Amino acid sequence: MNLRNIGVVYRKELRDMLRDRRTIINAILIPLLAFPVLLVGFVGVAIFVASRATEKDLKVMILNEAEAPEVAQRIRRELSFVMVQPSEDYVDAINNKRLHLAVEFPAQMEEKIRTAPAEPHTVKLYHFEGQIRSTAAARRVERIVNAYRDEVIAARLESRGLDRGALEPFTFEKENAASADRVTGSILGFLLPYFVILLSLTGAMYPALDLTAGEKERGTMETILASPVHRGDLVAGKFLLTLTFSLVTTSLSIVSLAATVLGGAGLIGQVSKGFVFAVSGTAISAVLFLLLPVTVLFSAGLMAIAVYARNYRDAQNYLAPLMFVVILPAMASMVPGMELNARLALVPILNISLAAREILTGQYQWGLIALIFGSTAAYAAGALVVVARQFNREEVIFRV
Amino acid sequence: MDLRKVAVVYRKELIDLLRDRKTVLSLVLFPLVFFPLMTVGFGTVERKMRDRVRGQESLVMILGEEHAPSLAQAIRETEKIRVVPAADDYVDQLNFKKLHAAVQIPQGFAQAPPPGGDPPHVKILFYSTQIRSETAATRLEETIRQHHNQLVEQRTSSYGLTPEMLNPVTPQRQNVADPQRVGGMKLGMLLPYFITFLCVVGAMGPAIDLTAGEKERGTLETILASGIGRGELVMGKFLTVLTGSLTTTLFSIGSFALTVLLAEDYMKDMTRGQAYTVSVSSVFWVLVLIVPLAVLFSAVMMTVTLFAKSFKEGQTQGSMVMFAAIVPAMVGMLPGIDLNPTLAILPVLNVSLVLKEILTGVMPWGMMGLTFASSCAYAALALKIATQTFQKESVLFRV
């Protein structure tokens, strides 16, 4: 193997690639823009729509206002409600989303509460289960009724000369104890591994196709084979270029995704109060490091398959199912409760997806990380050997 | 326009397309495996993981146990909770997932607060977003709530009060929506998106092949020189692309309907445990509304890919059209966006929203009519542009 020759091949291919402006757009601009646009844009719209949907024009009907004038008055005063005249067909109206909630009081509720304190009452809230506006309206009315109940209880206690707090032995609440960067990390850890693995595959895809099947299609494969460059050097140069693209796409997408999450934090913070976003630089670089053997695996694997294809389109047909094969294990980071162990650490791609999630939540299981890096490097080496072999077989290279 | 000539072009392109077995495979196989894989595959994995977390013990630490021995006892007796010895580094342990939750009991827990003062406050510390930690916190909360209620009851009776007196009124939610509609809601959110996606994907392959692919193979000139008019040529090609798009969509809807009927058990994960069936009439109306959308996608795809110089370039431009088509479909997935006359005339989004309604069992006839009419108008416009583009030599021979 001759390093200078490899350098020549690499430079030639790189120049070829860079001249095609569309490549740059595909490999760099799209992953860089896709995250901010998709994530921030989509999350922003989602939050905007959801907050507007639950805070405005909730259509509420009170079926028998006379039974509880006080509570009904409070419901009427709720700003987000639009009151609808009571009518018989409320079930139909709720089903067709013309009405979000119907409130039904028991007979003579408020009067009985005053005169017969031992009798419990139930206020019925007719709603559309799971429909967000219906649920929001129900929650608000529940709050109003509960506030009324607390007042009644306080008055009853007071009439017996008891303190308001006399019945409250203690209060309790759940509280998040994890640091901000860990909570951010678990959100990032959910999405990032999947997207980054996918993008390191697509980043390698274009050059891998162009340098093998594309070369066949253009009829330049024979020419380049006839040049005084050894077959091994040729493969090495082509492979390094594919690897470069995969690496560039991968690192840019990681940076872009992290920046998006941090940048979009203000937006999300407005809605979920007290949510602080932070990402540790160490975690990001550790993930990037772990992805190195993956990019090698993808570059070599894609080239090995694409060189077998007759032409560009043929190659594309082979690679489409491959995408599926990669996407499924990459989704492991999105499965809650799946945890890394020695056996899963040997499953390619799935291991990276899980390890990246752990790293982003601040967990470094060095033994497993080493095992993952080692096993992925072994798979990558295997793929490299296959590519080198494929290029040495004339029936593959000249398969048209 | 000569219909016979259109048919000749259509048959020729169709035969061409069908001979390539891989194209057929991606048009038919992809939608066929998509829905079963999504529901059964993900359902199985998710359920297995959830069951595992449910069966696992939670490691819990009690801080300040000496202040509330009876509460601590109740926690120790809770199923699937293992209490570990208290340590000062509990925050670190939580962060490193060695501990799932911690209960912090304040000093003076058993003593009555000074008059007007706040009652003692118990904190349940956990790691938000970690499923095992959240499970542990929920288990603790349940035990503590029971203990709390017991204490309240004791106090109530010691003051000579009855529990009823302290519970004058309770709000109670009652679902009045048809179970079919409740069940269809989540599906109605996802499905229009997938259907739209497959509708574009189905148009993309043939569109690229019949325009940019033809340029690349150098056969465009030959076909233009034949005795077939430009308009007939466009029509024939367009119909082929439309066939591709509709085939994919049809297979995906069919596979969806079959999944609903056969994998009932798995579907429950997606339908909030409600029984859900698809009616023949709703499938029919979905198809009716999809047709103008497929026409629109096919025409736009063809127009855009015709500008491409090669197959490769066609692919890039085709993916951009796909992206543009998917975004409005994604917006349609958002909860809380409801159909109104303005939204009913926005292309793609309107169909997503109407499909959402139909799948939850609502038939908004007025909106359906408006959506269908506006989609047809967009489709007709796109088709007209496609025809005009095919007349321009500068586009046809752009190499």
What is the DSSP track for B362-388? Answer: ---HHHHHHHHHHHHHHHHHHHHHHHH
pLDDT band of residue B271 (cuts 50, 70, 90) is low
Q: How many CB atoms lie within 10 A of CB B95?
A: 20
pTM (global) more than 0.90: no
- For residue B55, the chain A residues in CB contact (below 8 A) are none
Ordered DSSP codes for A159-216: HTT--GGGG---EEEEEE-S-HHHHHHHHHHHHHHHHHHHHHHHHHHHHHHHHTHHHH
pLDDT of residue B275: 66
Percent of chain B with pLDDT over 70: 94
Confirm or reject contact between A126 and chain B (CB < 8 A): yes
Output the six-digit token pair for A98. Answer: 């013309």
Check pLDDT > 70 for residue B175: yes
- Exposed, middle or buried: residue A19 (CB in 10 Å: 0-12, 13-18, 19+)? exposed
**In this complex, which of B156, B172, B315 lies closest to A167 when CB atoms are compared?**
B156
Of A25 and A341, more confident = A341
| Range in A194-198, A242-246, B279-283, B394-398 with the lowest mean pLDDT | B279-283
Q: Which CATH superfamily includes the segment(s) B57-160?
A: Periplasmic binding protein-like II (3.40.190.10)
pLDDT of residue A63: 94
pLDDT tens figures, A218-245: 888 888 888 888 888 999 999 999 999 8
The secondary structure element, H or E, covering residue B170 is strand B169-175
Q: Which CATH superfamily includes the segment(s) A56-167?
A: Periplasmic binding protein-like II (3.40.190.10)
pLDDT tens figures, A110-154: 999 888 878 889 999 999 888 888 989 999 999 999 999 989 988
- For residue A309, the chain B residues in CB contact (below 8 A) are none
Q: What's the rounded mean pLDDT across residues B160-186?
A: 81
Mean of all residue pLDDT scores within chain A: 85
Q: What's the rounded mean pLDDT across residues A261-275?
A: 58
Please answer whether residues B388 and B302 qualify as being in contact, where contact means their C-beta atoms are separated by less than 8 angstroms.
no
pLDDT tens figures, B73-111: 999 999 899 999 998 899 888 887 889 999 999 988 877
Residues B329-344 as b or e (16 or more Cβ within 10 Å = b): bbbbbbbbbebeeebb
B336 and A49: CB-CB below 8 Å?
yes
**Backbone torsions φ then ψ of B391, nearest 5 degrees:** -80, -20
Q: What's the rounded mean pLDDT across residues B215-234?
A: 88
- Sheet strands side by side (includes B101-104): A171-176, B121-126, B101-104, B58-63, B81-84
Hey, is B82 helix, strand or coil? strand
pLDDT band of residue A178 (cuts 50, 70, 90) is confident
**In this complex, which of A26, A46, A174 lies closest to B126 when CB atoms are compared?**
A174
pLDDT band of residue A387 (cuts 50, 70, 90) is very high
Please answer whether residues A193 and A349 qualify as being in contact, where contact means their C-beta atoms are separated by less than 8 angstroms.
no
Confirm or reject contact between A369 and chain B (CB < 8 A): no
Q: Between residues 304 and 363 of chain B, which touch chain A (CB distance below 8 Å)?
A: 311-313, 315-316, 330-331, 334-338, 362
Check pLDDT > 60 for residue B193: yes
Chain A: closest CA distance from residue B296 (Å): 24
Q: Between residues 249 and 278 of chain A, which touch chain B (CB distance below 8 Å)?
A: none
pLDDT of residue A273: 47
Check pLDDT > 60 for residue A27: no
B53 and A124: CB-CB below 8 Å?
no
pLDDT tens figures, A30-54: 666 766 666 667 666 777 777 777 8
Q: Between residues 17 and 36 of chain B, which touch chain A (CB distance below 8 Å)?
A: 22, 26
Q: Where do the structural domains in chain B lie, given as residue ranges?
A: 3-44+179-396, 57-160
pLDDT of residue B399: 66
- CATH 3.40.190.10, chain A: domain bounds: 56-167
B313 and A163: CB-CB below 8 Å?
no
- For residue A162, the chain B residues in CB contact (below 8 A) are 159
pLDDT tens figures, A367-382: 999 999 999 999 999 9
